[in-house]
Amino acid sequence: MEFMISSLSTSLDQELLNKINGKTKPLGSLGMLEKIAFQIGRIQESLSPEIKNPAVVVFAGDHGIADDGVSFYPKSVSYEMLYNYMQGGAAINVFSRQHNINFKVVDAGIDHDFDPSLNIINKKIAYGTKNFRFSPAMTKNQCLEGFRSGAEIIEGIHEEGCNFIAFGEKGIGNTSSAALILSLLADISLEECVGRGTGLDNNGVKSKFELLNEALHKYNGGNNPLDVLAQFGGFEVVMIAGAMLRAAELKMTMLIDGFIITSALLAASKINPKVLEYCLFAHKSNEQAHIKMLNYLKAEPILDIGMRLGEGTGAMVCYPIVKSAVQFINEMASFQEAGVSESEEVKTIS
């Protein structure tokens, strides 16, 4: 499995910097917006970057480990939430509607059969993963199938004219998968990676850690990303990782959500590190290990507002900021256009 991702060209860097710094404002005064505009310009190799037909795709899958009580909610909430998505009642529906962003849902491996008339993309690999305390969550072939399916979904969205994508997830128990992925792929102690998830109290977190630690000590594999994903991942996580790699291959800008989505990106980056060049990081989740994951990836989150809902909601709340970055670089007057005297400061963006 190979994804041919190009490194971002630096050929327009100076022109992009000149355009950003030449706007009618003090140098650097738009802060993070200037960095965002610069990066999207780089990704698109354009001095006038655009966001075209933006989309958010929620991938859903059930987890065998959820049967052991690692979440505040039962596994059935996963499929019930998909019905809520189809009725437009979830937070991700509200925020994607607010910003007129194309919303899609993928059944990557929910333990439920949905009526084909529902607007759910059916890529079900199996009816949930196995409990990784006792066996690998999935086979290597299922893992590879997930990567292929994620890539195919992105190809279809890209063919619809989309150049800007965000990812969401639904899967009770998936913070357990993310914690183990982080621990193994970033070599961080498991205790630092296990958090409250859907709202566990201190005793719940302790129990969750003990269950995951038991599973980790039974694992005889190494830190190869495909081995780690097959052992501890979720069908939604592997599908998102494949989608990310294909999106980078297609030179799409990705707006990365919280802990689960970043765990998929961490795995994807171990397969091809160039995928990171196409990413903007929406926010720092209130899940304790997310900041460790961001630090490991040397990522700078745009927002820190205490969110930990998942579903892609952090990315959607962040989207207007990204949109503002694109708007200013295209529409704000330059000193020359406005007839305003320009400072002679050195023009750089750190």
pLDDT digits (tens, 9 = 90+) for 182-201: 999 999 999 999 988 877 88
Model pTM score = 0.95
* Counts of helices then strands in the chain (DSSP H, E): 14, 6
Interior angle at CA 264, CA 259 and CA 270, nearest 5:
125
Catalytic annotation present for 311: yes
Rounded to an integer, what distance in angstroms lies between the CA atom of residue 103 and that of residue 194?
Answer: 30
3-state secondary structure 130-145: CCCCCCCCCCHHHHHH
Among residues 300, 261, 299, 254, which one has the least CA distance to residue 278? Answer: 254
pLDDT digits (tens, 9 = 90+) for 317-350: 999 999 999 999 999 999 888 888 776 654 554 4
Rounded to an integer, what distance in angstroms lies between the CA atom of residue 30 and that of residue 24?
Answer: 11
Rounded to an integer, what distance in angstroms lies between the CA atom of residue 126 and that of residue 38?
Answer: 42
Among candidate residues 34, 80, 311, 331, the one labeled active-site is: 311
pLDDT digits (tens, 9 = 90+) for 142-185: 999 999 999 999 999 999 999 999 999 999 999 999 999 999 99
